[in-house]
Amino acid sequence: MSLVISDEFLKTAQISETDLKLEIAILLFQQEKITLGTASQFAGTNQFEFTRILGRRKISIHYGIEEFRQDLKMLEENNWR
């Protein structure tokens, strides 16, 4: 699925595409809809940097066994060895 967000919308919202993707990733992570790994990948950053961003915003990191398994599966599917 693709989602097209117009440049006009970004201009009206006064947000860059990169920042919007980060905000979406943070929101979905907070709602426990995606894992830390998926959120950082969507945001276009590594997990360490994403974790730092969460820390600056005082957002707790929930990372359990199931999230670890999902991240490991994602890494294996992307040939990250």
In terms of pTM, does the model score above 0.85?
Answer: no
Q: Report how far apart, in Å, the C-alpha atoms of 40 and of each of 6, 7, 35, 73 are.
A: 23, 23, 9, 15
The CA distance from 6 to 29, in Å, is 24
User: Which residue's entry shows tokens 């990733």?
Assistant: 25
Q: Is residue 60 part of a domain?
A: yes
What amino acid is encoded at 14 in this protein? Q
pLDDT value at 80 more than 90 = no
Is pLDDT above 70 for 19? yes
Give me the domain span that covers residue 53.
Answer: 7-77
Residue 75 has pLDDT above 60, yes or no: yes
For residue 2, being part of any structural domain is answered with no
Q: How many structural domains compose the chain? A: 1
